[in-house]
Amino acid sequence: MTRDEALRLLGLDEEATEADIKLAYRELAQILHPDKYNNNKRLSDRANEQLKMVNEAREVLLGKRGASGKGGASGKGKSSGSHASKTDRVSANKARLAGILAAITQLTAQLHAEMGRRRTGIYLTAGGVIGFILGEFFMMRMIAPFAATALIWGAIQIFSTQANIKTLRKYLKELEKERKRYEKELQDL
């Protein structure tokens, strides 16, 4: 990975300080941490791969920082450097925004899947209750074990998905705040 790729991945410009690099790394590591997606192996694996790239970018930037410095040509005027810096900031913010939008898309898909599983749990629970009522009404005691199984399985599914739904909504809310912040920064640039 080149220095330019590492800067772009972390959403930084050429003037980024060591503190900027560490802050950008922490922000991305919080968004991409695989433990956040432990209920979905595919998302967890994907986040893990992206986090490896972010780790590599951090190592490239912090490792090269002392050896090569800024590495730019000194003949450039100040206005050219500030224009490049603004362009780099716009590119970096667009890259961060794209990553946030991708994460929002993934989490939204996972949220919809969890809501579907919760809906199935509601149907199973309702079916279990109806099975008990019909079994009692028509004196069909053989329905009771099936009704109990549906009722218990449905209740378990409702409660287990509810925690996941709450967590996903929390992460989506955080990502929406980040998205709005970067969109505002892009408008200001």
pLDDT digit string, tens, across residues 12-49: 878 888 888 888 888 888 777 777 777 777 777 777 78
Closest CA to 50 of 100, 16, 90: 100
Assigned CATH topology for domain 1-66: Helix Hairpins (1.10.287)
Mean pLDDT of 50-59: 85
Q: Count the Cβ atoms, other than its own, within 10 Å of residue 69.
A: 8
- Inter-residue contact 131 to 147 (CB < 8 Å): yes
Q: What is the DSSP letter of 37?
A: G
pLDDT at residue 81 is higher than 80: no
Nearest to 2 by CA among 48, 71, 90: 71
Q: Which band of pLDDT confidence, cut at 50, 70 and 90, is reported for residue 72?
A: very low
What is the pLDDT, as a whole number, of residue 4?
A: 82
What lies within 8 Å, CB to CB, of 17 at 6+ separation is: none
Do 114 and 164 form a contact (C-beta atoms < 8 A)? yes
Where do we find the tokens 């989506």? 172
Burial class for 94, CB neighbours closer than 10 Å (0-12, 13-18, 19+): middle
Phi and psi of 15, rounded to 5°? -85, 5
Alpha helix ranges (H) inside 33-77: 41-68
Using CA atoms, how far apart are residues 170 and 158, in angstroms rounded to an integer?
A: 18
Residue 82 has pLDDT above 60, yes or no: no
